[in-house]
């Protein structure tokens, strides 16, 4: 588990440096600011949240709380996808791999911050709990319209 946390931390640090490099390249025509100015204007790092291991439950029924978390995570993941797709479109081939790896970590972090056990639980809810007709009322009460 500590190896995974270390890998996640290293990926986030690498993605930060990629973002700083993009910013630096875009402003090459302007005066280069001093290092102290860049450090003070750099975005503050957000600590990494521990992502709990997800084990699929025996029943596909979902609680109202998990349904609310799922709705929030869905909206956040859409926004995250829009923002990261812009970065991916602008990147060259070697940078795309780094950005995609960081994007996967970011998806896991978004879900964990909202209250799910990472993207694994989100995917389980999408593929197992959401199609289950027993959960229709629960999801609709959470604000998600279903086709069941």
Q: CA 21, CA 44: separation in Å to the nearest integer? A: 16
Encode pLDDT of 21-49 as tens digits. Answer: 444 444 444 444 443 443 444 445 566 88
In total, how many domains does the chain have?
1
Q: pLDDT confidence of 118, banded at 50, 70, 90?
A: very high
Decide if pLDDT at 71 tops 90.
Answer: yes
The answer to whether residue 148 is domain-embedded is no
Identify the domain containing residue 75 by its residue range.
Answer: 2-141
- Termini Cα distance of the chain: 38
What percentage of residues in the chain have a pLDDT greater than 90? 36
The answer to whether residue 29 is domain-embedded is yes
Question: What are the angstrom distances between the C-alpha of 144 and each of 59, 64, 75, 98, 138?
Answer: 21, 12, 11, 33, 9
Q: Is residue 91 helix, strand or coil?
A: coil
The answer to whether residue 111 is domain-embedded is yes
Q: Average pLDDT of the chain?
A: 76
Residues 6+ apart with CB under 8 A from 112: 49, 50, 51, 52, 118
Q: What would the mean pLDDT of 100-124 be, rounded to a whole number?
A: 92
């Amino acid at each position: 588990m500590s190896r995974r946390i270390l890998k996640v931390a290293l990926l986030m640090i690498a993605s930060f440096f990629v973002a700083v490099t993009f910013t630096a390249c875009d402003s090459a025509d302007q005066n280069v600011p001093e290092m102290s100015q860049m450090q003070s204007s750099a975005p503050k790092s957000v600590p990494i949240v521990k992502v709990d291991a997800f084990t699929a439950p025996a029943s596909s029924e979902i609680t109202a709380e998990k349904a609310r978390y799922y709705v929030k995570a869905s909206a956040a993941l859409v926004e995250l996808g829009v923002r990261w797709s812009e970065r991916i479109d602008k990147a060259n081939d070697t940078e795309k791999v780094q950005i995609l790896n960081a994007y996967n970590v970011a998806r896991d972090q978004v879900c964990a911050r909202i209250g799910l056990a990472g993207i694994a639980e989100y995917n389980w809810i999408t593929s197992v709990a959401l199609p289950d007709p027993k959960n229709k009322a629960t999801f609709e009460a959470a604000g998600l319209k279903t086709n069941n």
